[in-house]
């Protein structure tokens, strides 16, 4: 596993973004792990998060694109932090864009903030975690309504590796339905690989009992 992935896993733990215990997801699934990106709360944390996203984008897509689009609301700081990291580490001046939840009818009017999306722009969408595709269903029409736009793909922070609406993972379903390339900074499989029976800051994060609970969860909800 690449060093930046290991660092990112530990970074999520330090920020209390990645937690283990007994949780219930929005879909009603009881899960032994939870990812809450709302716990990235400081400038330093956002700067580092942008660096990890930039690395994942470089590894999968390269830097031959024009716009990074982050759906409101969580996608807004992600686009800003990541385009700044791309500028610093890859010397690429990528434009950022997000949508508004409500259309603004005065001043800078319209549904978009940041850079306009124009004909022939190559766009990558950035989100926090793997979704069931609901956000993509809302986001793609907004982007494509701006003109003849080429949406290249989607990048998220964590692939939960569980079933979406069918038997495939949510990211795979998005790839197949919309023809987009998808990637994540890390997968939950990589998280388990890195943390299982390995001490971090003086404690074992994933012990045998927790590993068994994770395995049972994937036995029930894991993607093909």
Q: What is the pTM of this model?
A: 0.93
CA atoms of 210 and 96, how far apart (whole Å): 39
219 backbone dihedrals φ, ψ, rounded to 5°? -65, -30
Strand pairing partners for 68?
A: 96, 124
* pLDDT tens readout for residues 9-67: 999 999 999 999 999 887 788 999 999 988 999 999 999 999 999 999 999 999 999 99
* pLDDT tens readout for residues 150-174: 999 999 999 999 888 888 888 999 9
Instruction: Spell out the residues 6+ positions from residue 43 whose beta carbon is closer than 8 angstroms to its own.
Output: none
80, 109 in Cβ contact below 8 A?
A: no
Identify the DSSP state of 37. G
46, 40 in Cβ contact below 8 A?
A: yes
Where in the sequence numbering do the catalytic residues fall?
A: 104, 106
């Amino acid at each position: 596993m690449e060093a930046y992935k290991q660092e990112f896993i530990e970074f999520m733990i330090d920020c209390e973004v990645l937690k283990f215990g007994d949780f219930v997801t929005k879909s009603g699934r009881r899960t032994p792990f939870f990812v809450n990106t709302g716990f990235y709360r400081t400038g330093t944390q956002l700067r580092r998060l942008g660096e990890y996203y930039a690395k994942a984008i470089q590894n999968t897509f390269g830097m031959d694109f024009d716009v990074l689009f982050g759906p409101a609301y969580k996608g807004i700081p992600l686009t800003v932090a990541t385009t700044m990291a791309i500028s610093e580490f890859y010397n690429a001046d990528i434009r950022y864009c997000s949508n508004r939840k409500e259309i603004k009818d005065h001043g800078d009017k319209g549904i978009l903030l940041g850079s306009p999306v124009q004909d022939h722009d190559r766009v990558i969408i950035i989100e926090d975690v793997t979704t069931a595709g609901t956000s993509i269903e809302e986001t793609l029409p907004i982007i494509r309504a701006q003109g003849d736009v080429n949406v290249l793909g989607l990048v998220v922070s964590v692939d939960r590796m569980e079933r979406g609406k069918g038997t495939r993972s949510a990211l795979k379903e998005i790839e197949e339905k919309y023809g987009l390339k998808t990637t994540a900074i890390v997968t939950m499989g990589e998280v388990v690989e890195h943390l299982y029976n390995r001490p971090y800051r003086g404690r074992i994060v994933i012990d045998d009992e927790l590993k068994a609970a994770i395995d049972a969860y994937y036995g029930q909800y894991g993607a093909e």
